[in-house]
Amino acid sequence: MTRILQLTDTHVVCPPNKVSGVLDTLTLFEDAITKIEQDLEKLGHVDAIIVTGDITDHGDVESYDAFNSVIRRLGIPYFVIPGNHDLRSSMHHCFENLTPATSDEINWVKHFPDLDIIGLDTVIPGQGGGRLSPTALAFLEHALTRHPDKPALIAMHHPPFASGIQFMDAIGLEGADEMAEILEKSPRDVRVICGHLHNSIVATIGGATVLSSPATASSFLTDHRSDAPVGFTQDPGGYMLHEWNKGFRSTYLPLASSGQLYPF
């Protein structure tokens, strides 16, 4: 069995800075890690953590260093991909062995005994929306042709589906149709995970299930009205546990403290 934690949209900034003048995201991330430490007593062994983008809010080295110092408390190997708030140059400075030096994009594959994890870079520098470039699509297609009998967990920042949240769909993903074609041709059992939406949504692409994880920094409301207000709430977010054991299983875990447990 392979067990992977997914964190996303930590948007770390270093004090006294706050995201939008409101969110002390470093403290929120520290609190999230404390909650995860408590949860691990119940969850058992975890093989790795994937952080699906927007690690920092401004892409500065100081914030990445702060992120690293906090997540290392868990003592679990972790892998990162960029989101639209991240800067690849700073990430290369702060994280080792992200991608071959010949590529500007941060695409990678990590092999586990019964599962491959494929990280895809969807960033368009300077823009909120994302794109699966020809490079990323070719990387995905090649990665899926290797070990065709193994399942694959594909991690990306921008969701390859429309969420119904208008202001987020306006900065959605280009190249989702091309990705769907690649997935439809692959014999692998595939699950796709993403961030960006600060919300938990399940969809399908190319015959594969795709899930967005809630964030640690803030939450976005599910509001499909065309005139829905643009903004975030400070409602506690969450994270995901993805497992392979003769099939995929994905579990949402809240960051809010549990209430009293009542026996049956």
User: Quick check: is 107 in a domain?
Assistant: yes
Nearest to 67 by CA among 13, 22, 109: 13
Distances (CA, A) of 179 to 132, 233, 245: 8, 32, 25
Tokens of residue 130, six digits = 């994302």
User: What is the rounded radius of gyration, in angstroms, for the C-alpha atoms of the chain?
Assistant: 17
Q: Which run of H or E residues covers position 109?
A: strand 108-112
Locate 126 and state its tokens: 């300077």
pTM listed for this prediction = 0.95
Query: What's 175's domain CATH number?
Result: 3.60.21.10
Task: Give the pLDDT band of residue 101 (cuts 50, 70, 90).
Answer: low
Q: Count structural domains, the chain.
A: 1
Pick the closest to residue 66 from 141, 10, 113 (CA basis). 10
Return the SS3 of 65. Answer: helix
Q: Is residue 262 part of a domain?
A: no
Which tens digits make up the pLDDT trace of 123-179? Answer: 999 999 999 999 999 999 999 998 889 999 999 999 999 999 999 999 999 999 999
pLDDT digits 0-9 by tens, 43-86: 999 999 999 999 999 999 999 999 999 999 999 999 999 999 99
**Cα three-residue angle 256-260-261, rounded to 5 degrees:** 110
94 phi and psi angles, rounded to 5 deg? -105, -15
**How far is the C-alpha of 215 from the C-alpha of 32, rounded, in Å?**
10
Two structure tokens written together for 125: 């520098």
Q: For residue 260, is it within any domain?
A: no
Q: Is residue 263 part of a domain?
A: no
Q: What is the pLDDT of residue 158?
A: 98
- The domain of 153 spans 2-254
In a domain, 264, yes or no: no
Query: 228 lies in a domain?
Result: yes
